[in-house]
């Protein structure tokens, strides 16, 4: 067998295949004249193997075997078909070479040729896959430290930056915002809060790291190359610090509701409208801060709710018109049937108070004040009763106590009068009619007779007998105090007992200590009466209300346990805390001022006085006052502490302590003399 480069392999010594005639269009010529002349039978050309042409594609399937041409059959009608032999020259010129090839046992395309082509295709695909995989891996590694091509974090542009660049950018542009104080607002109020103080922070590493790192996700790789993204920074929070900061701010932002009020003064009602309050929801506010602090424009509204007052404005106005204003529209006449008194609107207003009770406005009239005003306007409207008490007659050793019986009275019941006045305010006559009632004393004669009056305290101090002017003041002051009765719950008030410090009231000019210097004044020396009165209350267990020791210590008094007196500036007061009256007895002997407290002994009193401490030496002081009195000086100043304990049959009161510092007796030089 040999190969023909033009027509492909053929069988050796095979007869030449007949060649048919064709027309220009490739169809058999003269086909419409088959009956006129013999026709050639044309066979399809034998296709040459694909490898015979260098540009021919490889066949998709193995070449089919070519069957040998069947013997020419005679026509049925006996006509013989002539097959014109084709000359070699004519064959070469023929446009189509038709060959009859006998059946071959082997395929036209060798199996070896097919395997080589498949391998080439496989290697081509594999190579393309390797190249693509390498490019994909390279993209993954190259973008692992690269942020998306277009990235903004809380308004800061980080497009295409590396991780370190992005952290630097955020540190410069976002961190200052995260450190700036915020305003937490509620209504018209605001409070500044620093994020750091509230436990709020910015995590730059976490913010950047979530956009970097090796990823095989194609969407992530693509995003880093051409993607666009707006993101928020990663923040941190200390919930405990945040709650504490919000709770502190809430105290400033919260406002309690303001209740309405009606104040009656000088016969007029002053109405103040109620105002809503504001309550801060600390938990919700903390959540808002946590979510908004980095993205806010510098101000965050606290979560709040309105707190309404107990009484609405409409209710206040209605009450004002219906209940308060009628009381002040004019005077109201009070009558007991035989006598009358007209209460002015201003007097009624002075006894009127308005408050919220059980969730609504309520008016209260002070019946006691109204009764006092009625009796003052017309004493015939009542007859005052009297409680039983005691009195002292005589002085010194001859003094004696006796019971003063109680007396019934006739008067107006306070509650009844208040109700009648309020009712009359809504009537055109504006007249309140009341009846006088028998008033019983609160302390009966029998109760007074049951008191076991005894000496509770005795106390004495010496006085300078050579100063006759001073002694006059001592005797006058002692006489005014002697026999003073202090009923249970009442006060001993030395200024009231002394009365006006005037010559007409028996006082004379004598020596005093003024501003730490010796001088003279009307009533000089009565501070000794003050010291006696102080010790009367102190030693008998009374409650001390007011006193002050001298600036310099006079050794005739117990250190730290004495009291001076100065009109209008320094007084001496104590309160009777027992269930019976106490009577203060005081008199002046030839060398001492003495006092005795009579009453029902209630307290076991114990006192202590410390040693002198913080000793200060005297100095020389120059005085230019025209009233200056020279002094030799010499006594040192010091501090002292006095304590007292009181125990009764049923209780012990806390220990009391008084500390006092005395100035030294300086040498006084009068420069004006």
Phi, psi of 258 (to 5 degrees): -100, 120
**Structural element, H or E, at residue 239:** helix 239-253
Q: Report the DSSP beta bridge partners of residue 352.
A: 365
Of the candidates 277, 240, 250, 281, the one whose C-alpha atom is nearest the C-alpha of residue 184 is: 250
Q: In sequence order, which residues have a C-beta less than 8 Å from that of residue 369 and are 6 or more positions away?
A: 350, 351
Distance between CA 504 and CA 123 in Å, rounded?
140
Most confidently predicted of 83-97, 175-189, 241-255, 293-307? 241-255
Q: How many other CB atoms are there within 10 angstroms of residue 589's CB atom?
A: 12
How much is the pLDDT for 385?
78
Residue pLDDT, tens place only, 163-177: 888 889 988 988 888
Letter string b/e over residues 382-406, b meaning 16 or more CB atoms within 10 A of that residue's CB: beebebbbbebeeeeeebebebeeb
Q: What are the structural domain ranges in the chain?
A: 1-108, 110-134, 143-260+274-307, 314-448, 451-670
Q: In sequence order, which residues have a C-beta less than 8 Å from that of residue 399 and are 6 or more positions away?
A: 392, 393, 482, 483, 585
pLDDT band at 64, cuts 50/70/90?
very low
Most confidently predicted of 24-28, 115-119, 646-650? 646-650
pLDDT band at 466, cuts 50/70/90?
very high
Distance between CA 561 and CA 547 in Å, rounded?
10
Residue 518, burial from CB neighbour count under 10 angstroms (0-12, 13-18, 19+):
middle
Phi, psi of 66 (to 5 degrees): -95, 120
What's the full length of the chain, in residues? 673
Q: Name the CATH topology of 314-448.
A: Ubiquitin-like (UB roll) (3.10.20)
19: Cα separation from own chain's centroid: 114
For the whole model, what pTM was predicted?
0.47
Residue pLDDT, tens place only, 423-458: 999 999 999 999 888 878 888 899 999 898 999 999
pLDDT band at 100, cuts 50/70/90?
very low
Distance between CA 320 and CA 325 in Å, rounded?
6
Letter string b/e over residues 408-422, b meaning 16 or more CB atoms within 10 A of that residue's CB: ebebbbbeebbebbb
Report the mean per-residue pLDDT for the chain: 80
Distance between CA 636 and CA 555 in Å, rounded?
12
As a whole-number percent, the residues of the chain with pLDDT over 90 amount to 43
């Amino acid at each position: 067998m040999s190969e023909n480069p033009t027509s492909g392999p053929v069988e050796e010594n095979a007869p030449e295949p007949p060649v048919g005639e064709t027309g220009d269009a490739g169809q058999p010529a003269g086909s419409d004249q088959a009956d006129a002349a013999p026709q050639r039978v044309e066979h399809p050309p034998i296709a040459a193997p694909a490898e015979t042409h260098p540009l021919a594609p490889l066949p998709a399937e193995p070449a089919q075997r070519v069957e040998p041409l069947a013997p020419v059959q005679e026509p049925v009608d006996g006509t013989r078909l002539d097959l014109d032999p084709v000359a070699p020259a004519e064959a070469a010129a023929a446009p189509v070479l038709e060959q009859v090839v006998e059946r071959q046992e082997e395929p036209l395309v060798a199996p070896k040729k097919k395997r080589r082509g498949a391998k080439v295709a496989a290697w081509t695909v594999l190579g393309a896959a390797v190249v693509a995989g390498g490019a994909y891996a390279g993209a993954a590694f190259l973008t692992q430290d690269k942020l998306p091509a277009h990235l903004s974090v809380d308004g800061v542009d980080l497009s295409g930056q590396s991780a370190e660049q992005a952290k630097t950018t955020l540190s410069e542009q976002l961190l200052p915002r995260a450190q700036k104080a915020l305003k937490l607002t509620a209504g018209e109020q605001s409070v500044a809060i620093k994020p750091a103080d509230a436990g709020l922070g910015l995590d730059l590493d976490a913010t950047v790291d979530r956009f970097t790192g090796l990823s095989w996700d194609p969407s992530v790789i693509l995003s880093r190359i051409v993607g666009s993204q707006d993101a928020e920074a990663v923040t941190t929070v200390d919930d405990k610090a945040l709650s504490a900061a919000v709770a502190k701010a809430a105290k400033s932002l919260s406002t309690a509701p303001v209740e309405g009020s009606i104040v009656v003064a000088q016969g007029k009602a002053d109405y103040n409208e109620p105002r809503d309050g504001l309550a801060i929801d600390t938990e919700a506010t903390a959540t808002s801060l946590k979510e908004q602090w980095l993205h806010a424009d510098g101000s965050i509204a606290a979560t709040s709710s309105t707190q309404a007052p107990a009484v609405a404005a409409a209710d206040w106005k209605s009450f004002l018109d219906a209940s308060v204003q009628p009381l002040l529209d004019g005077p109201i006449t009070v009558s007991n049937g035989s006598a009358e008194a007209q209460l002015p609107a201003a007097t009624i207003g002075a006894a009127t108070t308005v408050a919220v009770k059980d969730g609504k406005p309520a008016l209260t009239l002070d019946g006691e004040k109204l009764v006092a005003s009625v009796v003052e306007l017309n004493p015939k409207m009542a007859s005052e009763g009297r409680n039983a008490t005691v009195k002292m007659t005589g002085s010194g050793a001859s003094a004696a106590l006796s019971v003063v019986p109680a007396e019934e009275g006739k008067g107006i019941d306070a509650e009844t009068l208040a109700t009648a006045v309020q009712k009359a305010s809504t009537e055109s006559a504006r007249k309140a009619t009341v009846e006088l009632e028998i008033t019983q004393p609160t302390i009966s004669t029998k109760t007074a007779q049951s008191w076991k009056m005894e000496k509770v305290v005795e106390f004495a101090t010496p006085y300078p007998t050579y100063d006759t002017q001073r002694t006059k003041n001592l005797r006058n002051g002692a006489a005014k105090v002697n026999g003073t009765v202090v009923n249970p719950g009442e006060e001993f008030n030395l200024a009231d007992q002394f009365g006006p410090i005037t010559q007409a009231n028996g006082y004379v000019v004598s020596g005093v200590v003024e501003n730490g210097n010796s001088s003279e004044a009307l009533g000089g020396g009565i501070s000794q009466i003050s010291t006696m009165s102080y010790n009367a209350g102190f030693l008998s267990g009374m409650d001390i209300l007011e006193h002050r020791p001298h600036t310099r210590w006079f050794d005739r008094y117990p250190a730290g346990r004495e009291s001076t007196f100065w009109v209008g500036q320094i007084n001496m007061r104590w309160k009777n805390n027992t269930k019976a009256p106490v009577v203060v007895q005081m008199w002046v002997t030839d060398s001492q001022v003495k006092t005795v407290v009579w009453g029902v002994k209630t307290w076991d009193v114990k006192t202590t006085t410390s040693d002198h401490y913080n000793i200060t030496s005297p100095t020389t002081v120059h005085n230019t006052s025209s009233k200056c009195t020279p002094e030799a000086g010499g006594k040192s100043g010091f501090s002292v502490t006095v304590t007292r304990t009181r125990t009764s049959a049923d209780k012990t009161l806390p220990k009391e302590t008084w500390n006092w510092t005395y100035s030294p007796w300086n040498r006084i030089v009068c420069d004006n003399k």
